[in-house]
Amino acid sequence: MKTAASSSWLLPCLLGGLALSAPALAQDEDAPYAYPDEEKSEEESPRRRSQPEDTPDDFRRTSEEEDEEDKDFDRLAGLDDPNTGVAFEVLGGAMLLSSPKGQFADVLPAMGGRFTWEYGRLLNVEALREALWFDVRYTYASVREGTRLIIGDTRLHYATIAPAYELTFGQSKDYGAYVQVGGGVAYTDTALTVGDKLTSVDGLKSLIQYGVGLRGRTKVSSESNVRLAWRVELMRFRRGYLDDTFVGASLGTAF
């Protein structure tokens, strides 16, 4: 009798325990257990998505900024260049004076001097720094002709300002070929002697100067800014209907 009573009491207890434990063993399929590594990756993924991707506008903006940096570099060109682009030279050669009689030109000795300034340095453009310059020039020539009775002494003074464009070459760009066109005046002073009587005749005419040449600024010392400036040139002076041709060279100092 005791065994039957205990069995009848045990069966309801087991059934009740199984009913209470069933909800605890079930898991929600929609919310699986998250491991620590997965939680970190889920936290970082929204941050990665929030970072904007590069667009064509970004590439264009970066390119424009690089162009601006290049322009600033060009504008700062020459700040470390110790040279000022100024030169003084003495010149000499032969002046082929146009003959009003239609004959071959009279060959006369000529001399003078000039001041050169490389104004291209003001533009802060590397390609034009030493390519653009101009001369302030003075050239003198004289001729004496006539007979024992009549003698004429003619002195010619050429004063010009002439810009030039130079194509430099060499690693240091110290040498170049140039073309030059400018203008100025020619002053002619003639002393005519007839017997013992002296008569002076003078005149002033405008002129056009044009020609070509080879220019150099040879470095003398690595410790100094002073350079040896030299030129070989073929230049013409157009005064009125006459063309005077100068063939010569110059030598001086550049700073």
Confidence (pLDDT) at 61: 66
Q: Over the chain (255 residues), what is each successive 10-residue block's mean pLDDT?
A: 53 59 51 53 51 58 58 52 84 89 80 95 84 96 84 93 93 90 96 84 94 93 87 96 94 94
The residue whose two tokens read 């260049």 is: 81
Beta carbons within 8 Å of 112's beta carbon, 6+ residues apart: 90, 91, 92, 137, 138, 139, 140, 158
Q: What is the pLDDT of residue 100?
A: 66
Enumerate the domain spans of the chain: 34-75, 83-254
Quickly tell me which residue has 């970190």 as its tokens: 40
pLDDT score for 129 = 84
Cβ pair 225, 217 in contact under 8 A: no
Helix (H) or strand (E) holding 110: strand 106-117
How many C-beta atoms surround the C-beta of residue 250 within 10 A? 24
Fold category of 83-254 in CATH: Porin (2.40.160)
Instruction: Say how far apart CA 84 and CA 255 lie, in whole Å.
Output: 6
Q: Tell me what pLDDT residue 222 has.
A: 77
Check: CB of residue 232 under 8 Å from CB of residue 249: yes
pLDDT at res. 187: 96
Q: Where are the beta strands (DSSP E) in the chain?
A: 86-97, 106-117, 132-146, 150-169, 175-194, 197-219, 227-239, 242-254
pTM over 0.85? The answer is no
For residue 240, the model assigns a pLDDT of: 87
CA 161 to chain centre: 23
pLDDT at position 1 is 47
Nearest CA-CA partner of 232 in 113, 92, 110: 92
